[in-house]
Structure 1
Amino acid sequence: MSAYDYEDLGLVAGLEIHQQLDTSRKLFCECPTERREPEESHRRLTRYLHPTKSELGELDDAALEESRVDREFEYLGFDTTCLVEEDDEPPSRLSREALDVTMQIAALLDMEAVDQAHVMRKLVIDGSNTSGFQRTTLVAQAGEISTTEGPVSVEDLLLEEESAQRVEATEKGVRWSLDRLGIPLVEIGTGPDISSPEQAREAAETIGMLLRSTGKVKRGLGTIRQDVNVSIADGARVEIKGVQALDQIDEIVRLEVRRQVELLAIRDSLRERDAAVGEPRDVSDVFEDTDSSVIAGALSSGGTVGALRLDGFDGLVGHELQPDRRFGTELSDHAKRHGAGGVFHTDELPAYGVTEAEVESLREAVDAGPEDAVVLVADAPETVDLSLEAVAERARTAVEGVPEETRDALEDGTTRYLRPLPGAARMYPETDVPPVEPDPSEVEVPELLTEKTERYQEAYGLGAGLAEQVAYGRRFTLFEAAVEEGVDPTLAANTLESTLTELRRDDVPVENLTDDHLMELLLLVEGGDLAKEGVGDVLSVLAENPDLSAEEAVEEAGLAGVGDEEVRAAVVEVVERNADQIDEQGMGAFSALMGEAMGALRGKADGGQVSDVLREEIQKRA
């Protein structure tokens, strides 16, 4: 991929960061915020959603397009699911706990709180909410963060309810899980101040650090999502949704810039060729005896083959926009929105069982000339009509340039079409929830994770790397509580970060370990009831048997502490077994024998104690 001069291209980017809050209840009901597995559900309900007009009588374009896809939405309910989540009861008041955390975030972003926060309804009919809208409220505005490439403004901070979790597609539509619906979520929108891919990533990392500094945000896959808005001077604003990995943001921006540059090149070529879009035609007879399994399968099922002539598009439908994604892929994305499996086009044919002779017949059937391309869809008649209509609209837009739209981030950093950009017509007031008045004077501004890292080094003597691991980890609150109880800071830090990480890599179910388990264990070590060398073994037992206490897990692991006499006896046995090595090497044999002695005691004794006894016994021999 070519390196671009982003300043010359006029790159402008902004971020929308969505972060789930770790609160005791959901935003508008008393239900817990813990996630559940779909197989835990015990009831199901269905909905069909349609768009409604705003207060000004307008319909949102994104909602209107979504409504053209006829789908049934099925929702999985759990023993914790309430009538608010099912949209069978009005919402309760907005969670004060969630508002307090949001106000902390506002303070960290140097934002000004609104005088009165009003809950609004945002029209969403993709099935991700049982009500057909998402409740959201503006809490603060006009903030700023710093990056090495200059300041980035933060325009707004909203508190809203999380959407339902998509489980899978069904024959009739989409299945969703209600466990996630209603979890408090903050949305942070930056200004369009970002001018390079690297700055986009740095800004996202900075905001992520500030969010985690509250200690009240959820962690793990899916709990934070970044949307990236990207445009170049001659292109258009494109919103890329669902970026889950911070290290993907810079690549997402680079590839979107490339996509827009290539679309502009296609636009210029189309204008030179005086390109146009023809009318769809039924060309089923061309493929009556085809060897293409896709086309033959559609025809045998009562379907048709529709074709669309694109005047002046020859060679451009196959033009690559992003790695392994061509302009034809964009046309296919639009067709898929209406149920088609995809499209064929003459830039890639003959292929897929379609012969050269069939391509020639196809061109004749639609009166295509040498500079024209032809797009095919084979499916049920209604699907063919809707899909080709969508392809035609996208092809017409290509002559104009880059369309404004919402796109979905894929794992490799490329994107695919989702829907048009939403507009203001999808917002209207929520009449069931009273407004609230945020009070900035009551906000306790949390310590930044960067500051916490420095404090851990200075106050507890932790190395820079370990201090950062603990400060940025999920259990810094537990670490501080353990140290307050007298636990050695290095022991606590290594246990909560290094030991747990190693166990996780060994497939030990460490997610079963509670803070109580870990605190009890650390206190046992501090009290001399467990050697620190046995921590990993005891944690493994606890993870597999979470109903045990830490003390019971020590017994189960066979690591109950041993007395001084037992330690010395074990060490003497090792020394006697290696008498010849000691006679030859003296204290030089210490390292090898230390490992053997610790193995003999199997973590039942502290390494310092074993070391002292071993030195004594070697010196006696020497």
Structure 2
Amino acid sequence: MTDADFDYEDLGLVAGLEIHQQLDTATKLFCACPTELREPEAADHTFTRYLHPTKSELGEIDDAALEESMVDREFEYLAYDTTCLVEEDDEPPHRVDREAMETAMEIGQLMEMNVVDQVNVMRKIVVDGSNTTGFQRSMLVANDGEIETSGGPVGIEDMLLEEESCQRVAETDDGVRFSLDRLGIPLVEIGTKPDISSPEQAREAAQRIGMLLRSTGKVKRGLGTIRQDVNVSIAEGARIELKGVQSLDDIDDLVRNEVRRQVELVDIADELGERDAAVAEPQDVTGVFEGTDSGVIGGALDSGGAVQAVRLAGFDGLVGREIQPDRRLGTEFSDHAKRHGAGGIFHTDELPAYGVTESEVTDLRAAVDAGPEDAVALVADDPQTAEQAIEAVVERAETALEGVPEETRDALQDGTSRYLRPLPGAARMYPETDVPPVEPDPSEVETPELLTEKVARYEADHGLDSGLAEQVAYGQRWPLFESVVAEGVDATLAAGVLESTLTELRRDDVPVEQLSDTHLRETLALVDGGDVPREGVEDLLTALAEEPDLTAEEAVDREGLGGVSDDEVREAVTEVVERNADQVAQQGMGAFSGLMGECMGALRGKADGDTVSSVLREEIQKRA
């Protein structure tokens, strides 16, 4: 069955979103440290932690945290000159950042949510190293909202204010290296109700929420500052959390591929039931592969490793069945094995291959008593890893008999996903006793103007065309645009420079990130006032980007970008025309285009193009 054959209503597709957005506050959520990211090379010291799961207030340990803790890893943290004791978990957290709380309330108003009477901070157990404490601090701020989509309204279940996790830098021999500069940045998590019934509606809902978030003007922009999780299930499947979707463009493909995966798994379970399939106990089959030509298996054995295998009764032909593009049931088994340190698995649906011979496959089947209807999966690694990995394969194979297991999956860039961990439960939450409750007052904040409303206003008030108005409104510099226009700068000039010109310079590898609002404000004032021709804007901004310590006036003087008089323009144009007298005599106004470029080059961007054009036409007409 292809994706085009799916009737999502008939399948009972239900989906919901969790949107995680960093807030652009001056300081972090529970301390006064800055919220800017730095390069790992800027770290000035490191420290390590080993994390273990704790019981909730009900005395339970979360399954996801328990599985994570079974992987023995050391976590190394890169700290900076601004890193404080709160970030290192050597001091209790401070009070909740006021700016973050106010921004969260603004977002809640845009989604028609009800702000809670009292905000209480909770601890959410996380032992994957992404937080030095072993938990993430989170608090419910608002609930029960709604957004509109073309497929109908989508309810907003809740909005949490949380601290961002550490940034993963690299895998190490002993574990994982993280950077602390991202830890503690305020983050809102917005969860929709399961009202989404198609891949297209999922994408549209995410786009709508993204627009509302950016309407505040108080959220961070750029790669990694917003992440989407998508919860997907079909009637005969199970709830799956697709974690870490980086791009809105990926959401509909991820939903389609997850629906396909669940449809395939349900079909596989039905066929396994008809075959009366079962999963046997694992066995050591190291002897089968003595002297093997397989590089993977031989390498493991040469290092003192072992080969563990399991007979999957009735699984023949199904382990290799594709359930997502380029991903099979065997890939699912392999994902689970990898969680325990193995490099992957082999299975008989793909063998003989990878140096494993036909005779070795025959001997392997005999060793585990596998018949023609059976499949065999095997792991080659050090003895402990091989045992743990094959047990993980056994567990996943047993769930294949039942259908679709509930789990959290890692969203991949190709629109597919892989197993990450079990679906977390309520046992991961318990109260934070170090931070006092907050009683928010929604009357203290105003509802921001929507970006869609801003676009309409720019068109009506400033005469911008719809495309340019949308670029400015959805861009990051609209506050500067509004400020300079209020000071009298032409709106079309300001919009064109802040959007089109900066984009062109960025494509030409000009370091525009070095340009401050002051640089841009001064440049626009000089151009609007006629002190610098519009043709000189790119040269001026390039000079400022390359030497940010200069003022705009200093850059104009150094680059010689000041305007020229009308007499100087006519003198330069006359010289060009006389130099090309024969061409003018032969072509008349047909020579205009070529001579215009030559004139602008002679004036080096110091004159306005309209002025040069007018003078050039006059001089050509005199001679024609």
Q: TM-score range by the shorter chain?
A: over 0.9
Offset of residue 237 of structure 1: 0.2
Offset of residue 135 of structure 1: 0.5
2:53 is aligned with 1:46: no
In structure 2, which of residues 347, 355, 364 is the aligned counterpart of residue 353 of structure 1?
A: 355
SS at match of 1:210: helix
State the distance in 1 between where 2:410 and 2:85 align.
31
State the distance in 1 between where 2:520 and 2:411 align.
38
What is the correspondence of 1:171-210 to structure 2 with a 5 Å cutoff? Answer: 171-210=173-212
Q: Deviations over 1:537-577 (max 9, x none)?
A: 22222222222222222234332322332222111111212
One-letter code aligned to 2:158: D
Q: Deviations over 1:502-541 (max 9, x none)?
A: 1111122211111111111111111222111111122222
2:170 is aligned with 1:152: no
TM-score by length of 2: 0.98
* Structure 1 match to 2:279: 277
- Structure 1 residue runs of 5 or longer lacking an equivalent are none
* Structure 2 match to 1:229: 231
In structure 2, which of residues 473, 476, 479 is the aligned counterpart of residue 477 of structure 1?
A: 479
Contact 2:3 2:256 in 1 (8 A): no
Contact 1:168 1:176 in 2 (8 A): yes
* Structure 2 match to 1:380: 382
One-letter code aligned to 1:398: A
State the distance in 1 between where 2:416 and 2:558 align.
51
What is the correspondence of 1:298-309 to structure 2 with a 5 Å cutoff? Answer: 298-309=300-311
* Structure 2 match to 1:522: 524
What is the correspondence of 1:275-424 to structure 2 with a 5 Å cutoff? Answer: 275-424=277-426
State the distance in 1 between where 2:453 and 2:594 align.
42
Offset of residue 585 of structure 1: 4.3
State the distance in 1 between where 2:347 and 2:63 align.
28
* Structure 1 match to 2:565: 563
One-letter code aligned to 1:369: G
Answer with 339-348 or 499-508: which moved more. 499-508
Offset of residue 617 of structure 1: 2.6
SS at match of 2:122: strand
Contact 2:22 2:225 in 1 (8 A): yes
One-letter code aligned to 2:430: Y
SS at match of 2:3: coil
2:253 is aligned with 1:251: yes
State the distance in 1 between where 2:68 and 2:375 align.
29
* Structure 2 match to 1:109: 111
Offset of residue 274 of structure 1: 0.9
SS at match of 2:221: coil
Contact 1:541 1:556 in 2 (8 A): no
Answer with 480-489 or 245-254: which moved more. 480-489
Contact 2:407 2:421 in 1 (8 A): yes
- Structure 2 residue runs of 5 or longer lacking an equivalent are none
Answer with 515-524 or 238-247: which moved more. 515-524
One-letter code aligned to 1:436: V
One-letter code aligned to 1:568: R
What is the correspondence of 1:1-20 to structure 2 with a 5 Å cutoff? Answer: 1-3=2-4, 4-20=6-22
SS at match of 2:156: strand
* Structure 2 match to 1:533: 535
One-letter code aligned to 2:585: D
* Structure 1 match to 2:501: 499
Q: Deviations over 1:180-204 (max 9, x none)?
A: 0000000000000000000000000
Contact 1:112 1:140 in 2 (8 A): yes
Answer with 491-500 or 331-340: which moved more. 491-500
SS at match of 1:419: strand
* Structure 1 match to 2:39: 37
2:122 is aligned with 1:120: yes
* Structure 1 match to 2:448: 446
SS at match of 1:406: strand
Q: Deviations over 1:259-291 (max 9, x none)?
A: 000001110111011111111111111111100
State the distance in 2 between where 1:159 and 1:486 align.
39
State the distance in 2 between where 1:464 and 1:579 align.
44
* Structure 2 match to 1:605: 607
Contact 2:22 2:226 in 1 (8 A): yes
State the distance in 2 between where 1:478 and 1:588 align.
43
State the distance in 1 between where 2:130 and 2:350 align.
36
SS at match of 1:542: helix
State the distance in 2 between where 1:277 and 1:293 align.
28
SS at match of 1:617: helix
SS at match of 1:418: strand
Offset of residue 499 of structure 1: 1.0
Offset of residue 588 of structure 1: 4.6
SS at match of 1:600: helix
Q: Deviations over 1:332-363 (max 9, x none)?
A: 00000000000000000000000000000000
Contact 1:102 1:159 in 2 (8 A): yes
State the distance in 1 between where 2:513 and 2:69 align.
41
Offset of residue 486 of structure 1: 1.5
SS at match of 1:122: strand
Offset of residue 409 of structure 1: 0.5
* Structure 1 match to 2:29: 27
Contact 1:44 1:76 in 2 (8 A): yes
Offset of residue 587 of structure 1: 4.1
TM-score by length of 1: 0.98
State the distance in 2 between where 1:464 and 1:140 align.
34
One-letter code aligned to 1:337: R
State the distance in 2 between where 1:441 and 1:214 align.
16
* Structure 1 match to 2:62: 60
Aligned residues: 622
One-letter code aligned to 2:402: E
State the distance in 2 between where 1:556 and 1:328 align.
66
